[in-house]
Structure 1
């Protein structure tokens, strides 16, 4: 681990622990723009990610985060971003039946077909799997649901009102042999979960920094919520070309199901075409590698950051990343924010560093966050007093 990784342009990732040179790198200069980060809890992975986000924002990169633990709320506040809390009681909703306006290189028929395939995947996830018969029935019902709203391949998608889940339920209910599917769907349309899905979309992601949090979502619904959010983001990204970073924290949630994992992989593979870097972060290397999509996602990531590891995961990582025994022990004994940074074919031992101001904004230390909040409240009070 002794290469230099100092580029002419890019952002500072940290300091090379062997010779104290700066590790400066531009992920958008590599063959793909993706990264993976593996680290045990408390080893500084969210800190390192927030630092990259903050520095990327300075270089005109838009950033979108899927945040299962409400880690990025303060950062969104501090940088003037938008923070959406997606939960059963939240005011923010995404309608999975929304359709993006077709781009120049695709037809309305392409968009409708691709969205139908995505929706079949979503229903597989929501309903605990579908038999082949149910699969084709759901596919047919989706097309008919769009048709009752006069949405066909000939429609102008900028003038449509997309259907809702309850419209789909009504269409499905009129089909022979649909009883089991309708029954399983009921909790999403009539039960306590109806508030989550059966509403028109009301989130607007036209900001440089967007965070979607699913921390307050029931565990059972987290993969469903992440799938819906990912699709919403993917449609928005394809709409207009900009340099963007999509951060998926605690990505093992996505690896738990075939449909969410395969979707994450398809973004890793197709992101470059849309100027998108995918940053996948996880503490559960075993869960990640056990998915058939785990290794392909790593292979499709030009940047890899390994921070401190636990003895239970180190052997899997040693095999996947071809680590020497020396590198293996370096990762077992690393301090917080220390590890190995791989970029393309080079890798270096790295220490992540932040300036005092950056540290104030990105800290995960609860006492620091509380004192930041207190300072903010006092500042607001003072401003109100002056008005």
Structure 2
């Protein structure tokens, strides 16, 4: 609170209902309810070192000394302190002519002392010389009108439910200020006056004043906004609070995982593609799982690989392929991990497994690898991997596997035959690889995404390189426990392999209602919330602990606007792209139609 010097008016008194009737008898006036009666607390206890207001214990501190120089925004650590606290400033302008006369007299006295010391042959006094220099510089700035002097008082009032907590907060406050060479004292025996000084009453009975010039006073500006600007990284957009650039490298965070939540048409895919372009320029490899062919133009424009996974495509992934054994792992560990992954995949294919079927499948998977001479010997991993067809042949010889075989038939000989039964016939060699599953029917998409991610994970573990893995419409994976667990595993282990996972979803409820969805969010150091629908906003507010103003900001944002969380900081963001970037990544039907018409006109 910034207050001018109070002007006392003894004629003023509390307003009451009786004041509206000057003829009211004294008895009525005595019984009238005043405004003070309404706002007054039920109890107020004043002691030597705190006051008690209802159920709160309150203590006020005043600043009595400042360092020689004050840095801009030095109040920020106090404003961000995790404590219930009022910070009150009282600022009184000082008459410049009067001050100039005082400074002149003071400088004359100091220079006389300095001259006397020199005549006596005394050792030079740096403190005296500094004081003269400071006064001389101040007189110059005052004379030129470049600065003014103000009397300034600063009070900190802490609130707590218990005395012990109040003492802890008091120590924390004094320690924080002491680190800035700013020293405080509590308003001992004057706690009520200190409390009043922190209220919006224009009342400073303590008058603990210090002199600050304009430059020093400007450093006490009590409002600050977070910035997310680094010396390296990529540009995400503008900070809507202060128009600073949001520029940093997500790989500098505790992990490089990111989640993007937004309603349909709010710019989530636009943002993801913009990030892909800019990280590619930094030499980062990018792999995308694309459910709607939104990244096809991007892959073609940037010379990337576009791999369509469908029944009609010639590209195939064998889910039985084994990953490379990395440092710290054994062949047995890798084999068991892959068997566990395949159990989850086949559970998705068959609509779930009973405990007996899970045991049968576990035994069959180890046996099918053994038939291909793949064992716990690392050299055996070079042998060709089995396929789903090989697994069927093993299951045929196991009692109790009949029902499981029936449910697998549509992937072996039925309508989905050939999709998961052939060897892998491509490699991830390009810096940008996009896997498209648009041409798969809805029921196959979770299975295809699981298979693709398993293949990607195996390749990522083979060579350590900085990579981004983008999973668009990730809510599809959260619908099934096995696939949700797999995404959760990726989020937890990505950092070890220099991988940043980007999760994109518009169905916030579906994603966060899964326990694994919450865990993925907790394992993402960067989160971006763009424009939200009224149906999802309450869930978003609860999960991200948003304020009411942040909630309404998300409801009222335009396309490409929202909140940007990075580590412990978050700001309001406006995503920005260059004209060329926008032409490459836009999915706006109007812009695409205009571009197509422009091409047709040029060809005609």
Give me the TM-score of the superposition, normalised by structure 2: 0.61
Take 2:544 and 2:380, find their aligned partners in 1: how far apart are those partners?
45
Which has the bigger relative contact order, CA under 8 A and spacing at least 6?
1
- Structure 1 residue runs of 5 or longer lacking an equivalent are 383-387
CA 1:109 to 1:327, structure 2 compared with 1: closer, same or farther past 3 Å? same
Take 1:374 and 1:212, find their aligned partners in 2: how far apart are those partners?
28
Take 1:350 and 1:258, find their aligned partners in 2: how far apart are those partners?
34
2:418 corresponds to: 195
**1:101/1:157 contact within 8 Å kept:** no
Q: Tell me if 1:206 matches 2:429.
A: yes
Take 1:110 and 1:373, find their aligned partners in 2: how far apart are those partners?
53
1:385 corresponds to: none
Take 1:157 and 1:309, find their aligned partners in 2: how far apart are those partners?
52
**1:96/1:228 contact within 8 Å kept:** yes
Take 1:160 and 1:368, find their aligned partners in 2: how far apart are those partners?
51
CA 1:154 to 1:300, structure 2 compared with 1: closer, same or farther past 3 Å? same
Take 1:154 and 1:265, find their aligned partners in 2: how far apart are those partners?
29
CA 1:155 to 1:345, structure 2 compared with 1: closer, same or farther past 3 Å? closer
| CA displacement at 1:74 relative to structure 2 | 0.4
Per-residue Cα deviation, 1:37-73 (whole angstroms, up to 9, x for no partner)? 1100000110011001100000111101111111101
Greater mean alpha carbon deviation, residues 222-231 or residues 102-111: 102-111
Take 1:81 and 1:293, find their aligned partners in 2: how far apart are those partners?
32
Q: Tell me if 1:54 matches 2:277.
A: yes
Take 1:4 and 1:348, find their aligned partners in 2: how far apart are those partners?
7
Take 1:282 and 1:27, find their aligned partners in 2: how far apart are those partners?
19
SS of residue matched to 1:293: helix
Take 1:279 and 1:376, find their aligned partners in 2: how far apart are those partners?
33
Query: Aligned to 1:74, which of 272, 275, 297?
Result: 297
Take 1:261 and 1:62, find their aligned partners in 2: how far apart are those partners?
24
| CA displacement at 1:203 relative to structure 2 | 2.4
Per-residue Cα deviation, 1:161-205 (whole angstroms, up to 9, x for no partner)? 111111100110111111101111111100010121111111211
Larger Rg: 2
**1:27/1:33 contact within 8 Å kept:** yes
SS of residue matched to 1:23: strand
SS of residue matched to 1:194: coil
Q: Tell me if 1:34 matches 2:273.
A: no
1:183 corresponds to: 406
CA 1:159 to 1:372, structure 2 compared with 1: closer, same or farther past 3 Å? farther
Take 2:424 and 2:455, find their aligned partners in 1: how far apart are those partners?
10
CA 1:365 to 1:135, structure 2 compared with 1: closer, same or farther past 3 Å? same
1:10 corresponds to: 233
1:283 corresponds to: 506
Query: Aligned to 2:592, which of 361, 364, 369?
Result: 369
| CA displacement at 1:131 relative to structure 2 | 0.9
Query: Aligned to 1:148, which of 342, 355, 371?
Result: 371
Equivalenced residues, count: 381
Greater mean alpha carbon deviation, residues 231-240 or residues 147-156: 147-156
Query: Aligned to 1:355, which of 578, 583, 596?
Result: 578
Runs of 4+ more than 3 Å apart? 367-379
Q: Tell me if 1:228 matches 2:430.
A: no
Pairwise CA RMSD: 1.8
Query: Aligned to 2:534, which of 311, 314, 319?
Result: 311
**2:374/2:381 contact within 8 Å kept:** no
2:117 corresponds to: none
| CA displacement at 1:301 relative to structure 2 | 0.7
| CA displacement at 1:83 relative to structure 2 | 0.7
Matches within 5 A, 1:243-282: 243-282=466-505
| CA displacement at 1:107 relative to structure 2 | 2.0
